[in-house]
Amino acid sequence: MYQYTLQPVPLDIKETEWLDAFALHHQVPRKTWLILAAVMAFALLGIIFLRGYSTIFFWVVLVCAVIFGLARVYGLRFWIKRQLGEQIATYPKGIRVGVQPFGLVMFQKMGNQEGRGQMNWNQFSEWRENENLILLYVANQPGFQVIPKRLNAQKFPIETLRKHLSETLGPAKTV
């Protein structure tokens, strides 16, 4: 297979891929869960070993930790679904993407003309990856660009993309 894109590939992102991308983007760091577990263990030890009014503090800490954990898991899911609706509604249609030695190229039909944009490899600040997609973050811009790995079946060179990102930014960021 040719190392770069000869013909740009349509970037039609499905709803499940958007959901996967938001979940990857908003993934809770392992450090947060470890701190939450330590706080809950501290609260439980305080409840077990102390008597009297002192335990009220530990009960409050335990309840707050549980509420935080539940809000972080279930509240985030609700928020992601709400954001997903906005993202899908505003995401431009008809984008085609390709990989070149200097970076990514994107094409979009605008009326009778076709717009062309390019993002050089050094314009990306970080990238994340899971089994279904790659998220690209552009420096000094909010949000991310989703590249589904299923595009590999349409002759989009995912391995070349991964190679250039690794050379420029290092390995994919893990949370």
> What is the C-alpha end-to-end distance of the chain, expressed in Å?
32
Confidence (pLDDT) at 39: 94
92 CB neighbour count, 10 Å cutoff: 11
* Residue 5 burial (C-beta neighbours within 10 Å; 0-12, 13-18, 19+): buried
* Dihedral of alpha carbons 17, 148, 95, 104, sign: positive
More confident site: 140 or 59: 59
Q: Is the pLDDT of residue 1 over 50?
A: no
Q: Is the pLDDT of residue 144 over 60?
A: yes
CA distances from 136 to 58, 93, 95, 162 (A): 42, 19, 16, 11
Tell me the two tokens of residue 80: 């992601």
35-72 residue pLDDT tens? 999 999 999 999 998 888 778 999 999 999 999 999 88
Tell me the two tokens of residue 55: 């335990």
Confidence (pLDDT) at 89: 65
* DSSP assignment of 51-97: -GGGHHHHHHHHHHHHHHHHIIIIIHHHHHHHHHHHHHHHSPSSEEE
- Kindly state the percentage of the chain with pLDDT values over 70: 95
What is the rounded average pLDDT for all residues in the chain?
Answer: 86
CB 135 within 8 A of CB 17: no
Q: Is the pLDDT of residue 87 over 90?
A: no
- φ and ψ at residue 63, rounded to 5 degrees: -65, -45
Q: Give every CB contact of residue 20 below 8 A, 6+ residues apart in sequence.
A: 130, 132, 133
Confidence of residue 2 (pLDDT cuts 50, 70, 90): low
